[in-house]
Homo-oligomer: A and B are copies of this chain.
């Protein structure tokens, strides 16, 4: 586990904690819950007090912050303080938007809560996105002979979106709906190919199978997931992490899907830029082909 200085981390303490939640043991999880529920207070507690309040030992608190990526308790404390100071500084955001959507909400409330949630998912994801990993993903996809993409549910749509985009700049890619077809295509991969697996949880069996099959076949593997520590994340050569804020009322996983799309957009623009001339030419062709189906010309 890396030991980053708190400078880069400070804005993402809470996000990081959220992202490692699944990898935490129950006693560590208790610590995480308390920290997430009141980061400001947690910052002002000693490691002993924190442990006691969570009904666990200082050892578990240590294990907790190590997993989150900190080398010492002081560093975590400082970042918690910084983060909460920042949040409270942004007091122009109405408090209610943090809450979950409920039956009493008016449509106005719903709109602002959704807008807030999705906005934060994008902002947070941009924050935590590892540019190094993105760069590797960009060059892998750019040089790929064939790119297989697989995700189920909402992830499947994101996959289709990616496939559409890559197709428009002349790259060969496939977005599979059927897990068996996906794995079959993955099995035919080789060192020149890329496999992209999309899963919020990182725990979907079909998606993991797909990625592992592609890996055995020698392909470069990319995972887009909220949980870098998940089975999917661990299996992938390159991990692009989202940082979606999921609310309890989360049908369709709105935040995660938006975050995934945002990552796909970044990846795509990176790839398009990587091979700029060819991409522009291809885009112009596809654009022209679509214009024939239009009544009038929209936009500047």
Using a CB–CB cutoff of 8 Å, the interface residues on chain A facing chain B are: 6, 10, 18, 21-22, 43-44, 46, 74-75, 77-79, 81-86, 89-90, 101, 103, 105, 107-108, 110-112, 114-115, 118-119, 122-123, 125-126, 129, 131, 134-135, 138, 152-154, 157, 160-161, 164-165, 168-169, 200-206, 208, 226-227, 230-231, 246, 248-249, 251-252, 254, 257-258, 261-262, 265-266, 268-270, 272-273, 276, 279, 283, 290, 293-300
Contact = CB atoms under 8 A, between A and B. Distances in A.
A231 B297 CA distance: 11
Given A44-B78, A110-B270, A111-B134, A297 B22 contact: yes
A34 B63 CA distance: 34
B134 A22 contact: no
Contacts of A205: 293-295
Given A21-B299, A101-B273, A203-B297, 5 more contacts: A22-B296, A77-B78, A122-B122, A157-B164, A258-B258
B203 A295 contact: yes
B258 A208 contact: no
A269 B22 contact: no
A230 B261 contact: no
A26 to B, nearest CB: 13
A107 B134 contact: yes
A103 to B, nearest CB: 5
Contacts of A103: 273, 276
Contact of A154 (B85, B86, B101, B164): B164
Given A107-B135, A157-B160, A101 B269 contact: yes
Given A85-B86, A252-B165, A107 B270 contact: yes
B153 A157 contact: no
A133 to B, nearest CB: 10
B153 A126 contact: no
Given A81-B82, A90-B89, A119-B122, A265 B114 contact: yes
Contact of A261 (B111, B129, B258): B258
A275 B161 CA distance: 31
B107 A22 contact: no
A92 to B, nearest CB: 9
A265 B22 CA distance: 27
B110 A251 contact: no
A159 B205 CA distance: 27
A249 to B, nearest CB: 8
A168 B206 CA distance: 20
A204 to B, nearest CB: 6
Nearest to A36: B300
